[in-house]
Amino acid sequence: MPRDANTTAFNVILFDGFESLDVFGPVEVIGQVSDIYRLGFYSLHGGIVTSAQDARVDTYPMTDADPDGVLLVPGGPGTRLLIDDATFINQLLGLAKQASFVLTVCTGAALLARTGLLDDHRATTNKLAFDWVASTRPQVDWIRQARWVRDDIIYTSSGVSAGIDMVLGFIASQYGTATAQQAAYHMEYVWNTNPYQDPFALT
Amino acid sequence: MPRDANTTAFNVILFDGFESLDVFGPVEVIGQVSDIYRLGFYSLHGGIVTSAQDARVDTYPMTDADPDGVLLVPGGPGTRLLIDDATFINQLLGLAKQASFVLTVCTGAALLARTGLLDDHRATTNKLAFDWVASTRPQVDWIRQARWVRDDIIYTSSGVSAGIDMVLGFIASQYGTATAQQAAYHMEYVWNTNPYQDPFALT
């Protein structure tokens, strides 16, 4: 598919200890609509970052990202340290404030929450890490049972694989269900279409 | 989880134009059993390779891979050129002949088929690219309707997302269903457990 200046930036934020599928599930979906979006991978200082599964991915500095794009923030064990990195959180705040949409997967919600932008908004996160994430920012309206949650321009998903369902839901909202279904079909992915059906919620 | 010399190498073969989720779905599963496997990413010459979704991943040369490990061969648009790269196919043959198990996702089956090691074996592949893959090696017993196929030490899966189901099936066969179910649970992944149920088969 053509990639030209008419596409919108889809900015993926990476960091050491990011969860591989949090990133590359959504990235696979966005790759199905590459006539709409161009993917870019960014980290605080740029260069190689290493996923929790030992994949080394090359990135550009976050200051190079087009701030008017869509922002994707994954989770992973690296978030436990990163929420206390004021430089990173400030950069993330800058990008998130200007982004057309902000999407988080798994414990990526803890990073966005730390910016304050989730305060008084509905959001969800990884179910096995739910209590930790919620404790980092009680000002957020954390939803315990949801595959993903949309609150205005912010989408947050449950753990890991839920990011795929959420980004398909995002595509459906923006470009119609048929476009999302076609993306899922090309990925041979059985899309869990209902954001309220959450088999992994701990009640 | 501990990573020591007692782990088995899980060698992932990358190339320009590999499909992101073909790789990082299975990698996420294997990361859940990192007490058993250590992940390594390899390409023909090593260095940066770029996925079909523009992710740049750093690799080691294939000659550095522990040949006694498990081998994962993803698909993607890059396979269309790579099946005619004799140097690559010969290196792949060398690793695949010695591997304890060989797993392919999507059109990665075309690469393994080109080595000849799939001849007279049952295998499947991406459903939208099925006829192309089958045409590249008619000596293989290509199965049109299957989420994944196991034939002795060779596992082949349908397109993209099917790789996750297959690798969970591989884990189940090797270490029991409970171990696979626990991996899926940590990934918040709704595992399609039945290899014969294939909603994407074109009949």
Backbone conformation region of residue A59, classed left if phi is above 0, alpha if psi is from -120 to 50, else beta: beta
pTM over 0.90? The answer is yes
The answer to ipTM > 0.90 is yes
pLDDT at A4: 55
- Phi, then psi, of A10 in degrees rounded to 5: -115, 100
CA distances, B10 to each of A24, B7, B67, B94 (Å): 19, 9, 10, 16
pLDDT at A62: 98
SS (H, E, C) chain B: CCCCCCCEEEEEECCCCCCHHHHHHHHHHHHCCCCCEEEEEEECCCEEEECCCCCEEEEEEHHHCCCCCEEEECCCCCHHHHCCCHHHHHHHHHHHHHCCEEEECCCHHHHHHHCCCCCCCEECCCCCCHHHHHHHCCCCEECCCCCEEEECCEEEECCCCHHHHHHHHHHHHHHCHHHHHHHHHHCCCCCCCCCCCCCCCCC
pLDDT at B18: 98
With beta carbons under 8 A apart, name residues in chain A contacting B54. Answer: 38-41
Per-residue pLDDT reduced to its tens digit, A45-87: 999 999 999 999 999 999 999 999 999 999 999 999 999 999 9
Over chain B (203 residues), the average pLDDT of each successive run of 10 is 71 98 98 96 98 98 96 98 98 98 98 98 96 97 97 96 97 97 96 94 81
What percentage of chain A has pLDDT greater than the value 90?
A: 96
For residue B101, list its beta bridge partners.
Answer: B70
pLDDT at B4: 55
- Indicate whether A88 pLDDT > 70: yes
* Cβ-Cβ contacts under 8 Å for A89 (sequence gap 6 or more): A82, A83, A111, A114, A115
- Residue A51 CA to chain centroid, in angstroms? 15
- Indicate whether A203 pLDDT > 80: no
pLDDT at A6: 87
B125 touches chain A (CB under 8 A): no
- Indicate whether A1 pLDDT > 50: no
Per-residue pLDDT reduced to its tens digit, A26-53: 999 999 999 999 999 999 999 999 999 9
- Indicate whether A2 pLDDT > 60: no
Closest by Cβ to B162, choosing from A56, A186, A188 = A188
Per-residue pLDDT reduced to its tens digit, A94-140: 999 999 999 999 999 999 999 999 999 999 999 999 999 999 999 99
Q: How many angstroms separate the CA of residue B93 from the nearest CA in chain A?
A: 24
Element (H, E) at A154: strand A154-157
With beta carbons under 8 A apart, name residues in chain B contacting A49. Answer: none
Q: How many angstroms separate the CA of residue A48 from the nearest CA in chain B?
A: 8
A137, A83 in Cβ contact below 8 A? no
- CA gap A96, A165 in Å, rounded: 21
Element (H, E) at A91: helix A86-98
**Best mutation target, A12, A30, A53, to test chain B (most B CBs within 10 A):** A53
pLDDT band at A202 (very low <50, low <70, confident <90, very high): confident
